[in-house]
């Protein structure tokens, strides 16, 4: 029997996998060129979500330090607290840490990279400022 809230996307229950909605909300905010209210975020999300669901995700994400909010009218407008790249990297590390065979996971990841991404990864691993993309000139 599956634990409540642990459904996977695409299952007949129609529920989203844990964290999927949070990721979708963050993606909307990263794509925006300004702070968004809960209603504006809701309008950008696919599916038939309730306003209160989006409001809860925004509030919890703010409590976790993932979002910054400012007062706008009777509610709040939200922006991400950090850029998308650090968040994606943290999620990748979390997934890697969950697997007992890191070598296999990394090997599969690297084998699936495009030639360009493989070259970029090689430069990042061997170049100065390891782990940070070189500044564009």
pLDDT tens digits, residue range 81-114? Answer: 998 888 888 888 998 999 899 999 999 999 999 9
Q: Does 7 fall in a domain?
A: no
- Domains: count for the chain: 2
What is the SS3 string spanning the chain?
Answer: CCCCCCCCCCCCCCCCCCCHHHHHHHHHHHHCCCCEEHHHHHHHCCCCCCHHHHHHHHHHHHHCCCEEEEEECCEEEEEECCCHHHHHHHHHHHHHHHCCCHHHHHHHHHHCCCHHHHHHHHHHHHCCCCCCCCCCC
Q: Does 26 fall in a domain?
A: yes
Against a cut of 0.85, is the pTM above it?
no
pLDDT digits (tens, 9 = 90+) for 1-11: 434 443 344 44
End position of a domain, from candidates 43, 62, 80: 80
46: domain range? 20-80
């Amino acid at each position: 029997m599956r634990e409540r809230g642990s459904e996977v996307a695409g299952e007949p229950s129609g529920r989203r996998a844990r964290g999927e909605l949070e990721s979708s909300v963050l993606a909307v905010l990263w794509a925006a060129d300004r702070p968004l209210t809960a209603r504006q975020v809701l309008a950008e999300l696919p599916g038939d979500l309730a306003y209160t669901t989006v409001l809860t995700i925004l509030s919890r994400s703010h409590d976790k330090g993932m979002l910054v909010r400012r007062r706008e009218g009777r509610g709040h407008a939200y922006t991400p607290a950090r850029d998308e790249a650090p968040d994606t990297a943290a999620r990748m590390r979390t997934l890697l840490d969950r697997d007992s065979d890191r070598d296999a996971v990394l090997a599969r990841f690297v084998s699936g990279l495009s030639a360009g991404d493989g070259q970029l990864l090689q430069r990042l691993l061997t170049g100065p400022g390891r782990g940070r993309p070189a500044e564009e000139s």
